[in-house]
């Protein structure tokens, strides 16, 4: 059960502000988002993407991939938090509270 510990499971948040003034900048921003999605990230807000990882070692692989995707201009931040920390998030749509995103259910065979 240690592998499924809520302090071991990680969430990566990628937060970014990318310029979109020129056609080249818009393409770079779109490509960055596309690559995040290809790597398993989902949009949390317009410029915040999240990914669930089974461990810190797995998260390190994806953090390194994001570093390899960085566009020439703009600001990109990466934040890694535990599943326990992520579970404390409160999400509101207007004044209505929503349930937070949950990680995938994992099946352990041995």
What is the overall mean pLDDT for the chain? 88
How does DSSP classify residue 3? G
pLDDT at 8: 84
Please provide the size of the chain in residues: 110
| Contact yes or no for 48/15 (Cβ under 8 A) | yes
CA dihedral 80, 81, 82, 88 (to 10 degrees): -150
> What is the Cα 20 distance to its own chain's centre?
21
Q: How confident is the model at residue 1 (pLDDT cuts 50, 70, 90)?
A: very low
* Rg (alpha carbons) of the chain, rounded to whole number: 16
pLDDT at 106: 53
Q: Residue range 8-13: average pLDDT?
A: 93
pTM over 0.85: no
The percent of residues in the chain predicted with pLDDT above 90, rounded, is 72
Q: Which domains does the chain have, with CATH numbers?
A: 2-98 (3.30.70.240)
Q: What does DSSP say about strands 75-82 and 96-98: parallel, antiparallel, or unpaired?
A: unpaired
pLDDT tens digits for 24-68? 999 999 999 999 999 999 999 999 999 999 999 999 999 999 999
Check whether 23 has a pLDDT greater than 80: yes
pLDDT at 110: 46
């Amino acid at each position: 059960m240690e592998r499924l510990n809520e302090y071991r499971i990680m969430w990566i948040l990628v937060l970014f502000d990318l310029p979109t003034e020129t056609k080249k900048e818009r393409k770079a921003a779109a490509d960055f988002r596309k690559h995040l999605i290809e790597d398993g990230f989902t949009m949390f807000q317009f410029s915040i993407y999240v990914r669930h990882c089974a461990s810190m070692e797995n998260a390190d692989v994806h953090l390194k991939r994001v570093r390899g995707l960085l566009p020439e201009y703009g600001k990109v931040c990466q934040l890694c938090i535990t599943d326990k920390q992520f579970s404390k998030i409160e999400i509101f749509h207007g004044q209505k509270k929503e349930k937070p995103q949950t990680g995938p259910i994992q099946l352990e065979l041995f």
